[in-house]
Structure 1
Amino acid sequence: MAEPKVFDVRLYNIIVLGLAFMLLFTAFQTASMAEQSVLSSEKKNSNGTFTGDGYTSLSIIYIVFSAANWIAPPIVAVLGPKITMFAGSILYFVFILSFLKPMVWALYSGSVLVGIGAAILWTAQGNFLTINSDSETVSRNSGIFWALLQCSLLFGNMYSYFVLKGSTDITDSERTKLFIGLSGAALLGVLCFLILRKPVSTDTENLVNLTASDRKERESPLQTIKRAFHLLRTKEIMLLSLTIAYTGIELTFFSGVYGTCISNTKQFGDDAKGLIGISGMFIGVGEILGGAAFGLMGKRTNKYGRDPIVLLGFLAHMAAFFLIFMNLSNGSPKNSDDISSFLTPNKYIAVFCSFLLGFGDSSFNTQLYSILGFMFPEDSTPAFALFKFVQSVAAAAAFFYSEVLLLHYQLLILTILGAIGTLSFCVVEWGVSRAFRMGYQSI
């Protein structure tokens, strides 16, 4: 009777973890997609007294996020993943609250806080997912978590659509209504972290070696940081860093840039602001479909490899970039007066591209979670800290250049990095597969 109980506790933890992230990121991802448009409207409504900028805020978040990843592993080691995730989620909640009354100092201070919160939250999440998984369930659990997480895009942007539908400029009352709802969702997410349970194992062969994990958590903060630097010098992490960097660049594009491009497209008329929510919903549909499918295919992934899924995601993204190139104007990230495009802008094509962006993103991220958890079960904390460090550095750089580069240049960068990142992942996966067939469980 012990084995089913152990399995239930670990699966329960994965589901609750996914629900907590779903609620928290219902607030944060919806806010980040609408942030530039919300703050641009606030500038107009305040007659110039408010000067905050959405791209600058998001850039600060990811710069701080990247730096804070180096202090995240020792924090997880000292506090444990559950308490660390709870603390990080509170900082997200504070950031969302700051939009109820936009003030420049609160916006940028909140951006710093959420950058720190993101580093400790995601590092702890990677550790918690790994200690609740084994080599047979890590792909399934990654897929379950990712599908639940990305439901945030569906629910949050559905709410955003109905609040902002028909708006050309976002009024104070619409902004307040939007962020009261998002703050409530964030608070529920914070509380969910408190009901996570400690995984207990009586099966020493099939489960992650929790005794070893507990021993590593008792290591000093300095030892934890040293292990992170050691991993960074490995060939596998260096190659995967190229793939991870691509996920950071495309995260910036679909979470902060693409919605702004749609909202700046005058041919969409009064639907332009509301389409931010619709676009986010279909990004979520793609993420959920990909996460669920790849989670259910976990055992087949172990057998046939992760590279076919990453290749599928690459093709989905290339199709999306081409259609966006044809459908939207080159100046749409910043200039709503630019109406030139190769096709007459079509809202259905724009929304379909949102789906492709989400589906491709889930392909890359679920397989990165899977391969890192599989390769480094005993070093999951520093491995996922490095994952988020590289991803956030790339995202911060992308938000910086998004303020100045036209759409076509951004799409060119995405295309080149996507090809390099896909090839790098495949090289690592082929090496992992060879080692596994030869009887080695990690590299």
Structure 2
Amino acid sequence: MADWRTFNVVVLGVGFLFVFTAFTTCGNIEQTVVKSLRNDTFTGSGYHSLGIIYGVFSLSNLAAPAVVSVAGPKVTMFVSGLLYSGYVAVFIEPSTWSFYLTSVLIGVGAAMLWTAQGQFLVENSDASTINRNTGMFWALLQCSMLFGNLYIYLEWNGRTEIPDSSRKTIFLSLLVASIVGTLCFLALRRTRLFEEEMLSEDEGQALLSTHMVYKHRANTAIEEVKADFKTMLQLVKSRNILLLSPCMAYSGLELSFYSGVYGTCLGATAQFGQAAKGLIGISGMVLGVGEIIGGGLFGLVCKNNRFRRTSVVFLGMVVHFVAFYLIFLNIPEDAPVVFGTTTTKSPFLTPSMSIALLCSFLLGLGDSCFNTQLYSILGCIYAEQSTPAFAIFKFVQSVFAAVAFFYSGDTLLTWQLLLMVVLGFNGTLCFFVAERMHDADATSTQTLE
């Protein structure tokens, strides 16, 4: 059983690697591509599309536990992967209506995918393996930021404009990657014995028909859904969720920044010259390296859970604040909001590609600090209520990511950075309090026993 659980975690990570090779690369270059497409027939906005995705994502999280309970994590992730593939395919022959329609659909799919992933990961872990499995999954997931962005760098380096032929080639390749990742979900194995899901009319009688089995599962799932929804309502008001919410919210703001805004800023900085467009790809790769190092180091090397969580979150805050300060000095403040393809406004320093890439690495490293620890603490506190707990996490995160994407196109870089600093500090402080209270509860429980 332990071997099958490890197999499941690896396959899960590989599937997400391929799917998000397509999606994260798409999000990283989306606004830049959309700017090159604007004409009489296409008027979409990359920021608005990403805002719609995360807005629908947040609302769909309320229904996600129901879908996962009825369909199961494996089927849910497969169908969700198909929706991701449809979104990537739109960029091959883009139109405004299909661009925004698939933005809605992928928002639904994302909620189902991440809720199913959280449940599946917890089902294949126990108290002794949750940190290892979380780190393993996170490292595999973040490898997705390497390959697609490397292709972007090789394809766009030295270009000042993005021709249609280059766009079609890139998104065809990303579509293939997304489909391969989706197919990986079909290789996942059951974590519960198949016999537990079957019914028999009486002893010695053959198993019921497949139709009756799934009817029974659906009826059972409905009861589970009702229980999960009640649990979600209870958890939303619980002390631990309330304390962790600011940290979840911050993870949404910085997600929108590193996945959509920062790459656009680099591509819009005229002082980088012909390297600006290619810098988007290399920045995504370096950001992915930071994510991988963080996921591997904090998930696989560190063994002391309680010490690690508080220390790593504090490290993530410091790393992000250093990155924000350097970005403030190195990037023009109007880079996210410029209406043309580039801005010629000068920042405090002469824009440096070395500093820009250092900031990319720090953004990735800091993001892995916050996310791995949020997964870890939720997995420990709510091991028996993983589906509603992870649904709440993704709901809060995606609401704030959606809000950030909608204001990113109209807010100067300085104010975006300041908002993240304020929320990041408060989120870290609240995480410390939540961890301390969890330790106190665990200690008192052991004392009573």
User: TM class by shorter-chain length?
Assistant: over 0.9
Q: Partner of 1:272: helix, strand, or coil?
A: helix
* Per-residue CA distance 1:294-315 (angstroms, 9 max, x = gap): 111352225x241000001111
Which residue in 1 is equivalent to 2:196?
none
Which residue in 2 is equivalent to 1:27?
22
Determine which structure has more spread, i.e. the larger CA radius of gyration.
2
Is the CA contact (8 Å cut-off) linking 2:57 and 2:107 kept in structure 1? yes
> Quick check: 1:222 aligned with 2:226?
yes
- Report how many residues are paired: 420
Which residue in 2 is equivalent to 1:3?
none
CA shift for structure 1 position 221: 2.5
**Which amino acid letter does the alignment assign opposite residue 37 of structure 1?**
T
Which residue, out of 428, 432, 436, partners 1:426? 432
Q: How does 1:35-114 map to 2 (within 5 A)?
A: 35-43=30-38, 47-114=39-106
Is the CA contact (8 Å cut-off) linking 2:271 and 2:344 kept in structure 1? no
* Per-residue CA distance 1:145-168 (angstroms, 9 max, x = gap): 000000000111111111222221
* Per-residue CA distance 1:105-143 (angstroms, 9 max, x = gap): 110001000000000000000000001111111111111
> Quick check: 1:250 aligned with 2:245?
no
Which residue in 2 is equivalent to 1:205?
none
> Quick check: 1:135 aligned with 2:133?
no
**Which amino acid letter does the alignment assign opposite residue 224 of structure 1?**
D
Which residue, out of 138, 156, 161, partners 1:164? 156
Q: Partner of 1:299: helix, strand, or coil?
A: coil
> Quick check: 1:260 aligned with 2:264?
yes
CA shift for structure 1 position 50: 1.3
Which residue in 1 is equivalent to 2:315?
312
**Which amino acid letter does the alignment assign opposite residue 60 of structure 1?**
I
* Per-residue CA distance 1:265-292 (angstroms, 9 max, x = gap): 0010011011110110011000000000
CA distance in structure 2 between the aligned counterparts of 1:409 and 1:108, rounded to whole angstroms = 28
Which residue, out of 350, 355, 361, partners 1:349? 355
With 220-229 and 254-263 compared, the bigger mean Cα shift is at 220-229
CA shift for structure 1 position 334: 2.0
* Per-residue CA distance 1:304-331 (angstroms, 9 max, x = gap): 2410000011110000000000101111
CA shift for structure 1 position 225: 1.5
CA shift for structure 1 position 216: 8.6
Q: Partner of 2:91: helix, strand, or coil?
A: helix
CA distance in structure 2 between the aligned counterparts of 1:345 and 1:393, rounded to whole angstroms = 32
**Which amino acid letter does the alignment assign opposite residue 50 of structure 1?**
F
Is the CA contact (8 Å cut-off) linking 1:246 and 1:421 kept in structure 2? yes
CA shift for structure 1 position 222: 2.7
Which residue, out of 13, 27, 50, partners 2:8? 13
Which residue in 2 is equivalent to 1:186?
178
Q: CA RMSD in A?
A: 1.6
CA distance in structure 2 between the aligned counterparts of 1:261 and 1:291, rounded to whole angstroms = 26
Q: Partner of 1:100: helix, strand, or coil?
A: coil
Which residue, out of 160, 175, 180, partners 2:167? 175
CA distance in structure 2 between the aligned counterparts of 1:301 and 1:325, rounded to whole angstroms = 34
> Quick check: 1:294 aligned with 2:289?
no
**Which amino acid letter does the alignment assign opposite residue 341 of structure 1?**
P
Percent sequence identity over aligned pairs: 52
Provide TM-score, normalisation by structure 1.
0.92
**Which amino acid letter does the alignment assign opposite residue 415 of structure 1?**
V
Unaligned runs of 5+ in 2: 194-217
**Which amino acid letter does the alignment assign opposite residue 398 of structure 1?**
A
**Which amino acid letter does the alignment assign opposite residue 365 of structure 2?**
F
Which residue in 2 is equivalent to 1:199?
191
**Which amino acid letter does the alignment assign opposite residue 255 of structure 1?**
S
With 291-300 and 338-347 compared, the bigger mean Cα shift is at 291-300
Which residue in 1 is equivalent to 2:212?
none
CA distance in structure 2 between the aligned counterparts of 1:101 and 1:355, rounded to whole angstroms = 33
Which residue in 1 is equivalent to 2:108?
116
**Which amino acid letter does the alignment assign opposite residue 389 of structure 2?**
A
Is the CA contact (8 Å cut-off) linking 2:330 and 2:347 kept in structure 1? yes
Which residue in 1 is equivalent to 2:207?
none
Q: Partner of 2:303: helix, strand, or coil?
A: helix
Provide TM-score, normalisation by structure 2.
0.91
Is the CA contact (8 Å cut-off) linking 1:260 and 1:333 kept in structure 2? yes
CA distance in structure 2 between the aligned counterparts of 1:216 and 1:127, rounded to whole angstroms = 17
